[in-house]
């Protein structure tokens, strides 16, 4: 395996072990590719996705924004959808990514939208 993939897998395992300590809260997982960002709220015990939002779901008027601005909007939309199904507290799963840039912007948007983590 490629060296950087091994490091990412180790970080993912380390993060998930900490998250499993809190089974009452679902986890807010962020996945990013080179062009898009996705968020999901997943129930820890069953592994079912409760809410999912993609950058592709943003309105056409938002296409001129930067990637970080789009990530923040995705976080806000995730928080709105979570509120509709009465989820207010989550655990943030950065999925092995460093907490900066688009991942940080998505977390900020979710916090601004009302999620607590």
Q: Within a domain: residue 117? A: no
Instruction: Confirm whether 69 is domain-assigned.
Output: yes
What residues make up the domain containing 14?
3-112
Q: Report the alpha-carbon distance of residue 29 to residue 81 in Å, rounded.
A: 14
pTM of the model: 0.86
**What's the count of helices (H) and strands (E) in the chain, helices before strands?**
3, 4
Total domains in the fold of the chain: 1
If pLDDT is split at 50, 70 and 90, which confidence band does 91 have?
A: very high
Task: With respect to residue 53, please indicate whether it lies within any of the assigned structural domains.
Answer: yes
pLDDT digits (tens, 9 = 90+) for 37-73: 999 999 988 889 999 999 988 888 877 899 999 999 9
CATH label of the domain that carries residue 7: 3.30.420.100
Angle between helices 102-112 and 67-84 (to 10 degrees): 40
């Amino acid at each position: 395996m490629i060296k950087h993939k091994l490091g990412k897998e180790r970080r993912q395992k380390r993060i998930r072990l900490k998250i499993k300590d809190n089974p009452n809260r679902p986890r807010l997982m962020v996945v990013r590719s080179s062009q898009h960002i996705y968020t999901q709220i997943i129930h820890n015990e069953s592994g079912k996705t409760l809410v999912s939002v993609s950058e592709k779901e943003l309105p056409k008027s938002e296409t001129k924004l930067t990637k970080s601005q789009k990530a923040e909007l995705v976080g806000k939309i995730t928080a709105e959808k979570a509120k509709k199904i009465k989820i207010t507290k989550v655990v943030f799963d950065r999925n092995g990514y460093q907490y900066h840039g688009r991942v940080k912007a998505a977390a900020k948007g979710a916090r601004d939208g009302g999620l607590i983590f």
